[in-house]
Structure 1
Amino acid sequence: MAGDILSQSEIDKLLSAISTGVVSADEVRVEEQKKIKVYDFKRPDKFSKDQIRTLFMLHENFARILNTYLSTHLRVLVKVEVVSVDQLTYEEFIRSLPNPSVISILSLSSLKGNIIFEMDTNVVFSIIDRLFGGMGDESKMKARTLTDIEETVIKNMMSKMMEGLQEAWHNVQDFKLNIESMESNPQFTQIVPSGDMVVIITLQLKVGSVEGLINICIPYIVIEPIVPKLTTTFWVSASSTRKEHPEEVDQLKKKLRKAIIPVSVELGRVSLTISEFLTLGMGDTLRLNTKADDELVCIVGERPKFYCRPGIIGKRSAVQITKVIESDDEEGEKRDG
């Protein structure tokens, strides 16, 4: 049947198939029902499939950033992955949250309104326990509201986590996230009317053996001005054409200047057999392979970077840099080692 209008011969064949039992009336009815698409006017779809896919990709990037930060900071195996991106009413989202919860209400510098960042209490208390020197054992945790000290600790960590979320959104929109308040009762977090549509990004977080969910609630009205940018084409092109900003370079330089790197000076080397080493005692003298007027090697981190001469400044031992070790010299030092 090429079109919606049947010819008389097609009608006769269909009636014949139904009468002979080849095709049942229920099958015909099902075919008709498939053409009908259910649409709820109380819950209109605000985001297209492409926009939902872009939000998924954005927060996959955030999950990778969060994974790196938490693994380094907590010194434990952490796994973060995006589970789903859904759109529903704000009332449905609030009803889905347990009480108590750990809910942060965030403001965006370049957009109007607030978003919600909610974390599972099991994961939050596991993080707090590890930060306080514990093992983050799930069996010792009970759902309760945070104390003032615990809330301060989580706020400090949340600030770092929000930097990762800002970075993930950078190619679409630059904004700064600020924590306005933290709540434990979902009913006290009325950031938009109950019937307003929101998009919920759900991430699964595993800290050691403890698992939980992170929910990011973004009202449509908040990101409505930038919805046209939420396309995979725009996001990919923005990522590929992204240029360095002078302020980012300055910030990176400032962080590098604050980096603490161990510096050591190698006075010389000596080779010993195991038997000679085992016979060493107090007062024994070892002859190094360097002379008093030889230049010494200054090691920065784990790499030889400078030649220097030993000396004294006041009552302290010191060295004077005489030459920068070039790449060839550096490789030679590694081979000698």
Structure 2
Amino acid sequence: MTEVLSQDEIDQLLTAISTGDMDSEDTQQVADRKNIKIYDFKRPDKFSKEQIRTVSIMHETFARLTTTSLSAQLRSLVHVHVASVDQLTYEEFIRSIPSPTALAVINMDPLKGSAILEIDPAITFTIIDRLFGGTGEGSKVNRELSEIEQSVMESIIVRILGNMREAWSQVIDLRPRLGQIETNPQFAQIVPPTEMVVLVTLETKVEDVEGMMNFCIPYLTIEPIISKLSAQYWYSSVRRGATTENLNILRERLATIGVTMVAEVGSMNLPVRDVLSLTQGDIIRLQNTRVTDPMVLKIGNRPKFECRPGVVGSKVAVQITKKLEDVQQDDFEELTVEGEEE
């Protein structure tokens, strides 16, 4: 394969040829010279540039979700963004973080092994101060977390892990779980010191306090899905759209969402003065409603079924008698308007 010369080498060749200091044979020897790439066997590169880029894109989504969730929980201005994504040895990562610090060991189910989420002490104590009712001003506290403070940080980390699951959803249905919180980095030996890891550094700002969050993922943990960390797989998974698998996942998630259902006996309009004068024992006469009429079962604010009241055991219940989707929604709106006018 033809080697590409640098600009300096091209300039030297042109100068030498123009002055006659180099003949054609020397020129051919320079062109045939191969570039030598230094390779450190103690720190082998296990992640390609494309895979590092994909990891960065995933955690940019994670950073946006975390910014929103922390801002809502702390009722304060929070900003999180990806500063860098690097690969290094686990020993180098452990040496780069302060001690003591808030260091959460994360179980990366269904992947094997664990990862580490490290939160800078300045950010940790600012979050705790905000949740305890303080102003969240940064303080140069250098101590281990108390049991109460550790419990507070556990709830914060659990919320953050929910954002991580969503950010990884295009690659794998990750179910990260908080294992434990350590304060001394030396006690968190999840892999051998020489093992390669990918380190995602997130710049975090809470009001005027700035710090770092570091997410460390060992290569052994991420190895089973390393082939999915490519731009081709990433963008193809985004474009897949409504596949059967995605629809099944969507149905499973929607199945757990709570929906408000109301069985409506009837309705009527009353002036505010009449509402304020209501007392126990008063009778309210409903408009256009007879005793034999069915009740309307609403899901949210939309009528969906007709039903009749009854009991099941010791509980009040309704029995669905008719599905209202066969009737146009406009018909209900017309009935409502007519009832109001009367």
Q: TM class, shorter-chain normalised?
A: 0.5 to 0.7
Distance 1:303 1:224 in 2: 49
Paired residues, number: 310
Q: Measure how far apart 1:200 and its partner are.
A: 1.3
Gaps of 5+ in 2: 1-8, 23-33, 338-342
- Over 3 Å counting, the alpha-carbon distance change for 1:151 and 1:271 in structure 2 is same
2:126, 2:138 within 8 Å by CA — same for their partners in 1? no
* Cα distance between partner residues in 1 of 2:92 and 2:204: 22
Q: Which amino acid aligns with 2:63?
A: A
Secondary structure at the residue paired with 1:217? strand
Query: How far apart in 1 are the matches of 2:294 and 2:251?
Result: 36
Structure 1 residues 103 and 282: CA distance shift in structure 2, 3 A: closer
Q: Distance in 1 between matches of 2:315 and 2:216?
A: 59
Q: CA deviation at 1:120?
A: 3.0
| Alpha-carbon distance in structure 2 between the residues aligned to 1:91 and 1:265 | 65
CA distance in 2: counterparts of 1:218 and 1:262, whole angstroms: 44
Structure 1 partner of 2:106: 106
Q: SS of 1:138's equivalent?
A: coil
Query: What is aligned with 1:54?
Result: 54
Is it true that 1:233 corresponds to 2:232 in the alignment?
Answer: yes
Q: 1:233 Cα shift?
A: 0.7
Q: Hey, what does 1:255 align to over in structure 2?
A: 256
Bigger CA drift: 101-110 or 235-244?
A: 235-244
Aligned to 1:10: 18
Q: TM-score, normalised by structure 2?
A: 0.67
Deviation at 1:101, TM superposition (A): 1.2
Residues 107-122 of structure 1 mapped to structure 2, 5 A cutoff = 107-109=107-109, 111-122=111-122
Deviation of 1:159 after TM superposition, in Å, equals 4.1
Distance apart, 1:85 and its partner CA: 1.2
- What's the secondary structure of 1:191's corresponding residue? coil
Instruction: Answer whether contact 1:200 1:218 (CA < 8 A) is retained.
Output: yes
**Cα separation, 1, equivalents of 2:310 and 2:171:** 56
Quick one: which amino acid aligns to residue 237 of structure 1? S
Shift of 1:182: 1.7
Q: Which runs of 5+ in 1 are unaligned?
A: 15-34
Q: Are residues 1:139 and 2:137 paired?
A: yes
Confirm or deny that 1:303 pairs with 2:311.
no
- CA pair 295-228 structure 1, distance change in 2 beyond 3 A: closer
Contact 2:130 2:136 in 1 (8 A): no
Structure 2 residue aligned with 1:244: 245
- Aligned-partner SS, 1:255: coil
Does the Cα contact within 8 Å between 1:137 and 1:210 map onto a contact in 2? no
The alpha carbon displacement at 1:269 in A equals 1.7
Mapped pair 1:96 → 2:114: no
Equivalent residue runs for 1:249-328 within 5 Å: 251-252=252-253, 255-256=256-257, 259=258, 261=260, 263-265=262-264, 267-270=266-269, 272=271, 277=273, 281=277, 288-293=286-291, 294-308=293-307, 321-326=320-325
2:122 and 2:211 in contact (8 A); partners too = yes
Is 1:298–1:307's contact at 8 Å kept on the other side of the alignment? Answer: yes
Question: SS of the counterpart of 1:244?
Answer: helix
Letter in 1 for 2:290: A
User: How much has 1:68 moved relative to structure 2?
Assistant: 5.7
**Percentage identity across aligned positions?**
40
Q: CA deviation at 1:175?
A: 5.2
Q: Which amino acid aligns with 2:298?
A: I
The TM-score, its normalising length taken from structure 1, stands at 0.68
Q: CA deviation at 1:55?
A: 0.6
1:233-265: CA deviation from partner (whole Å, max 9, x where unpaired): 122223444652798467436524xx2525252
Alpha-carbon distance in 2 for matches of 1:192, 1:185:
16
In 2: Cα distance, 1:312 partner to 1:221 partner: 58
Two-structure CA RMSD over aligned residues (Å): 4.5
Larger deviation, residues 214-223 vs 117-126: 117-126
In the alignment, what sits opposite 1:151? 150
Q: CA deviation at 1:307?
A: 3.5
